[in-house]
Structure 1
Amino acid sequence: MSRPVRIGNISGFYGDRIDAAREMVEQGAVDVVCGDYLAELTMLILAKAQARDGGVGYARTFLTQVEQILPACVERGIRIVANAGGLDPAGLADAVRAVADEQGLGVRVAHVEGDDLRGDLAAITPPVGGTPVSANAYLGGWGIAQALAAGADVVVTGRVTDASLVLGPAAWWHGWAHDDWDPLAGAVVAGHVIECGPQATGGNYPFLDEITDRRYPGFPIAEVAADGSSVITKPEGTGGLVSVGTVTAQLLYELGPPAYLGPDVTTHFDTIRLEQTGAHRVAVTGVRGSPPPDTLKVALNDVGGYRNTMTLVLTGLDIEAKAAHAEELLFGILDRDSFDEVDVRLLRFDHPDAAANPEATAHLRITVKSADRRVAGRAFSNATMQLALGGYAGFHTTTPPTDASLFGIYRPAAVPRSAVTHTVVLPDGERCTVADPPEFATEKPQVTPPVRRGEQSKGPSRTVPLGTVAGTRSGDKGGDANIGVWARDDAGHAWLAGFLTPQRVRALLGPETADLDVEVFDLPNLRAVNVVVHGLLGDGVASATRPDPQAKGLGEYLRSRLVEIPEELLP
């Protein structure tokens, strides 16, 4: 199989567009379809579902997609690979077999397991206190490759890395060895590009003027060659855009240092090169890889307690005085110290002399947390309603009183590979242990500091939004937030790399980042820098109280800030 393997994504998260699978099979001319269903938050959601009587720990929507596409996949020889197994990959494998039986199809189903560490937490570092509701090591793609080599038509997994859904099929297709570091790294990059579905094909893209086809974007396809290079494209006739810009945006999503540590290979994102080779075709080349670390990343989710939020609407004049009065009255009724955490945020949407009533409003968002549901529940939300007749002028809330809900706490950890048994269960029921890589990194990869250029420009400048010359894509990495920032040309990158120091990032993002550790990494081949804001999201999305708990809008906020930009860089 010397030609590139065409791998099409059909899901970027649990709850994504259902008919993406049918569209990909009917229009994508692919060899493999893959779907990513597992975010850190999803593991907590699946753990709650599994704990209920008769609950299942896998992504049910995947079965709906399988029902829609299985006959066509069998007819055309298209393989299906997905991490939708969540906390019960064996159960999902059985469910897929049941769907195949109902449709009268002979389908060979395999699954990958070994990531669930809830039965033995002793080797995890830092040590685990209590009993987490989920504890999963991030496995690699070799179990998937082994299942496909054994003839599996469908492979379902638990917690593997998102990129493993591409690395596994590519390694199987091309017959790579476990130490083919550069090809493996190339497959990781291709997997990282397509893992979030249409985010690579124009979705969430900041330069809307570049997208001339405004229909819902087609889901992405990676054509992965034997040397690990790839071409990113999408099915013929679908909406959106595949360009160097859209691929760059997705490459920067949820990224940390340029040395991207994975279970199969360390991928060096500062070696990636992109080139537009045709309409909706971007070549990804030059990717270098090196041995992975001797530990695996672990995602832990705990139940943190209960939380409740009430949002008070403030209108017109004296917004800050009204907010202070409301907070004082509320915590005169309630004992502030009875809560484990109180978060009060005044969100200003109001304008002076507003032309319409909604444009004169601000929100006072109050969130409380407690281990006691009664404390965080109706006792809190009902107390806010006592301000209805005795509070500030114009009092009303966005919702009626609400009850408390459980929230989770995410913790990253690590585990020695020797404590994890990466297992593939083949279609005939044989259980095989998946081999570890033949060697591991002996030291932490070195990070090249950004080249600080462009700040010494003596030419004229103008005060304009940063987004005039830069695009961004932001997201969450557990409790950290990242913002990938890229320029459209080399001169723009040279200025950007010098301009976005950690100190300037903190100044532009405002008070909530003032005391946080900020790192900035340069990616010159992508004309980009990657900003990591440590601790902005606290204990992760399930626990965060900021209005944008996954930092999805943080990059667009950064683009909106007014800065001095050399005129020679402006359009």
Structure 2
Amino acid sequence: MEEMLTGGALDVLTGDYLAELTMLILGRDRLKDPARGYAKTFLRQLETGLGLAKDRGVRIVVNAGGLNPAGLADAVRELSERIGVPAAVAHVEGDDVLARGPAGLRAPDGSGAERSAADGPASGSGWGEGVLTANAYLGGGGIAACLRGGADIVVTGRVTDAALVSGAAAAHFGWAEGDLDALAGAVVAGHVLECGAQATGGNYAFFAQEEIDVTRPGFPLAEIARDGSAVITKHPGTGGAVTTGTVTAQLLYETAGARYAGPDVTARMDSVRLTQDGTDRVRISGVRGEAPPPRLKVGLTRMGGWRNEVTFVLTGLDIDAKAALVRRQLEAELSSLEARGRRPKEVTWTLARTDHPDAPVQEEASALLRLAVRDPAEERVGRAVSGAAIELALASIPGFHVTAPPGKGSPYGVFETAWEDAARVPHTAVLPDGRRVTVPAPERTLEPAPVEEPSLPEPLPDPLPASYGESRRMPLGAVAGARSGDKGGSANVGVWVRTDEAWRWLVHALTVDEICHLLPEIRHLPVTRHVLPNLRALNFVIDGLLGEGVASQARFDPQAKALGEWLRSRKTDIPEGLLP
């Protein structure tokens, strides 16, 4: 915060504090103390940041309110008085819909069944058994109302990440509901900013090839124009870089198809055009907007049960035989537990062949055999499992050891998505003077239709001609970048190239069948390909790869953050004329 406030000119400083996992953590905090449920980090940053912001005339908009935006707003007022820096504080509420049951809701179990009020309440909170938090993703209307009402600091709960930027821009320019293209442009700019240094070279696939120093990248900022176009840049003298590549990578992050639907507008990602506008300046233009959908996304978190894991280290020769022996021994113990009604409900084995032959370092000679267990009951995943594993220490494979001592089970969470009619979700701006302003749902809505290949605005290009030479077996990353991430139990991986010639090859070569061949783990899952010609990019959505979301830790890489880098390392046939 201090870096952004002192590094150069700003009108509004935004901060995104909420992820799917964060909501679960805040939900557990709220169980312990109903007065909590917000991100305390923001208050620590504001100790020095508030004075700097006031001196420079910068307004602050954050979603750090989490499950208790009113509580955080009060805490900010107390801090303001304590440090002697007056501030007009407002907050946005209405997103927390846990207390009431759904109506007209698309069921989170994926069945597509709809509930109505006449059906009566569901079990648990009304949203399902054991739901801990239920928050609708609000748009930027409440933020805009707070800023128009004179707020220096606006605190929200669960809004879309991009709403922090689009709400501020709407307040500044006076945009109305019908200014769809302008709103869509601001949403796209907000999506670029929401993950901080990920837009300035952080986590960037080509950092080495393009010699970008990301030791300490600066944070991105957007210069937004009245028509919604924007220039992404960063403060002078900060590290990293802003290029069409770094911005493309972030645009592809945690998105799906060509229609990026939000509560205020549906932004057409296939209309986005990026141009380098000078050093560390990338212009975003041409963004088209459509009416938003009639329903809001609702994020549901609940405790899923208990889990435990043991990782056996298998070293040297006969790795497969060693893994088979350990599994036989543990499965015998699990069968004994089953006879006593204590076997865990879910048992998963994974063998990672991280070993190398004739390794000069012991760790490089070792493979990892991982046993993970889950169950609704804590006692079924505790020392009955991990203790049994350790008891094999003197009676199992040669070189037996594990990565951690036996331990208790730990709780895991689940994230689910539901959809609620926007008109039924209260959206209220509480202004600095205490007045409550209702933000109405959009009058005009539109169900987002899928954009079939080829996507807007032009058909697929012709395949690359034979003049580019014979193909060589090379890693995909020799020519393509990738960025991947999570949305609940699904993962997405966006793949892009930097030249028109490479695009002519990629769009025909990287089909759904080919990506399933390159990533065998996804072969049994539904995979959807989306084409974004303006970005020279493909975006693949893989349903179910992450089980019940990041908090459930269903996979070695539970948020699919490195899925794109795994894809780039896989070898495929690439024409020689495209290779560096």
TM class by smaller structure? over 0.9
The equivalent residue for 1:174 is: 173
Q: 2:47 aligns with which of 67, 70, 76?
A: 67
| Structure 1 Cα separation of the partners of residues 334 and 48 of structure 2 | 53
Deviations 1:29-61 (A, max 9, x none): 111110101111110011011111466101111
The 8 Å contact of residues 39 and 66 in structure 2, kept in 1 or not, is answered as yes
Which amino acid in the other structure matches residue 481 of structure 1? A
Deviations 1:408-447 (A, max 9, x none): 1111110011220011111111111102223111562533
Which amino acid in the other structure matches residue 166 of structure 2? L
| Structure 2 Cα separation of the partners of residues 271 and 176 of structure 1 | 21
Which amino acid in the other structure matches residue 102 of structure 2? A
| Structure 1 Cα separation of the partners of residues 189 and 448 of structure 2 | 26
The 8 Å contact of residues 179 and 437 in structure 1, kept in 2 or not, is answered as no
- State the shift of 1:568 in Å: 1.5
What count of residue pairs does the alignment treat as equivalent? Answer: 550
Which amino acid in the other structure matches residue 106 of structure 2? T
The 8 Å contact of residues 412 and 551 in structure 2, kept in 1 or not, is answered as yes
SS at match of 1:473: strand
The equivalent residue for 2:325 is: 325
The answer on 1:57 being equivalent to 2:37 is yes
The equivalent residue for 1:486 is: 496
Structure 1 window deviating more from structure 2 (206-215 vs 220-229): it is 206-215
Relative to the length of structure 2, the TM-score reads 0.93
In structure 2, the CA distance between the partners of 1:351 and 1:233, relative to structure 1 (3 Å rule), is same
The equivalent residue for 1:7 is: none
Which amino acid in the other structure matches residue 88 of structure 1? N
The equivalent residue for 2:551 is: 542
| Structure 1 Cα separation of the partners of residues 212 and 307 of structure 2 | 43
Q: 2:506 aligns with which of 496, 500, 506?
A: 496
User: How do residues 420-431 of structure 1 correspond to structure 2 at under 5 angstroms?
Assistant: 420-431=425-436
The equivalent residue for 1:118 is: 98
The equivalent residue for 2:578 is: 569
User: How do residues 82-93 of structure 1 correspond to structure 2 at under 5 angstroms?
Assistant: 82-93=62-73
In structure 2, the CA distance between the partners of 1:288 and 1:463, relative to structure 1 (3 Å rule), is same
Structure 1 window deviating more from structure 2 (302-311 vs 333-342): it is 333-342
The equivalent residue for 2:383 is: 378
The equivalent residue for 2:531 is: 522
The equivalent residue for 2:21 is: 41
SS at match of 2:161: coil
In structure 2, the CA distance between the partners of 1:352 and 1:320, relative to structure 1 (3 Å rule), is same
The 8 Å contact of residues 494 and 540 in structure 2, kept in 1 or not, is answered as yes
CA root-mean-square deviation: 1.4
The 8 Å contact of residues 453 and 497 in structure 1, kept in 2 or not, is answered as no
- State the shift of 1:321 in Å: 1.1
SS at match of 1:311: strand
| Structure 2 Cα separation of the partners of residues 553 and 347 of structure 1 | 16
Which amino acid in the other structure matches residue 480 of structure 2? A
In structure 2, the CA distance between the partners of 1:108 and 1:196, relative to structure 1 (3 Å rule), is same
Which amino acid in the other structure matches residue 78 of structure 2? A
- State the shift of 1:67 in Å: 1.1
Deviations 1:199-232 (A, max 9, x none): 0000001112324434310011011110000000
SS at match of 1:278: coil
SS at match of 2:552: coil
| Structure 1 Cα separation of the partners of residues 508 and 41 of structure 2 | 46
The answer on 1:275 being equivalent to 2:290 is no
| Structure 1 Cα separation of the partners of residues 60 and 442 of structure 2 | 25
In structure 2, the CA distance between the partners of 1:475 and 1:143, relative to structure 1 (3 Å rule), is same
In structure 2, the CA distance between the partners of 1:214 and 1:256, relative to structure 1 (3 Å rule), is closer
| Structure 1 Cα separation of the partners of residues 448 and 377 of structure 2 | 45
In structure 2, the CA distance between the partners of 1:208 and 1:442, relative to structure 1 (3 Å rule), is closer
The equivalent residue for 2:238 is: 238
SS at match of 2:216: coil
The 8 Å contact of residues 211 and 240 in structure 1, kept in 2 or not, is answered as no
User: How do residues 222-233 of structure 1 correspond to structure 2 at under 5 angstroms?
Assistant: 222-233=222-233
The answer on 1:202 being equivalent to 2:201 is yes
| Structure 1 Cα separation of the partners of residues 384 and 75 of structure 2 | 43
SS at match of 2:551: coil
The equivalent residue for 1:436 is: 441
| Structure 2 Cα separation of the partners of residues 339 and 99 of structure 1 | 48
Structure 1 window deviating more from structure 2 (389-398 vs 52-61): it is 52-61
The equivalent residue for 1:107 is: 87
Which amino acid in the other structure matches residue 134 of structure 1? T
Structure 1 window deviating more from structure 2 (232-241 vs 119-128): it is 119-128
Which amino acid in the other structure matches residue 84 of structure 2? G
In structure 2, the CA distance between the partners of 1:344 and 1:28, relative to structure 1 (3 Å rule), is farther
Q: 1:80 aligns with which of 60, 72, 79?
A: 60
| Structure 2 Cα separation of the partners of residues 563 and 79 of structure 1 | 50
Which amino acid in the other structure matches residue 463 of structure 1? R
In structure 2, the CA distance between the partners of 1:165 and 1:441, relative to structure 1 (3 Å rule), is same
SS at match of 1:334: helix
Which amino acid in the other structure matches residue 305 of structure 2? G
- State the shift of 1:552 in Å: 0.6
How many percent of aligned residue pairs carry the same amino acid? 54
Structure 2 gap ranges (5+): 108-114, 116-126
| Structure 1 Cα separation of the partners of residues 354 and 95 of structure 2 | 45
Which amino acid in the other structure matches residue 37 of structure 1? Y
- State the shift of 1:449 in Å: 3.5
Which amino acid in the other structure matches residue 319 of structure 1? I
The 8 Å contact of residues 217 and 240 in structure 2, kept in 1 or not, is answered as yes
The equivalent residue for 1:193 is: 192
| Structure 2 Cα separation of the partners of residues 23 and 259 of structure 1 | 34
| Structure 2 Cα separation of the partners of residues 139 and 235 of structure 1 | 30
- State the shift of 1:329 in Å: 0.4
User: How do residues 151-166 of structure 1 correspond to structure 2 at under 5 angstroms?
Assistant: 151-166=150-165
- State the shift of 1:198 in Å: 0.1
The equivalent residue for 1:464 is: 474
Which amino acid in the other structure matches residue 466 of structure 1? L
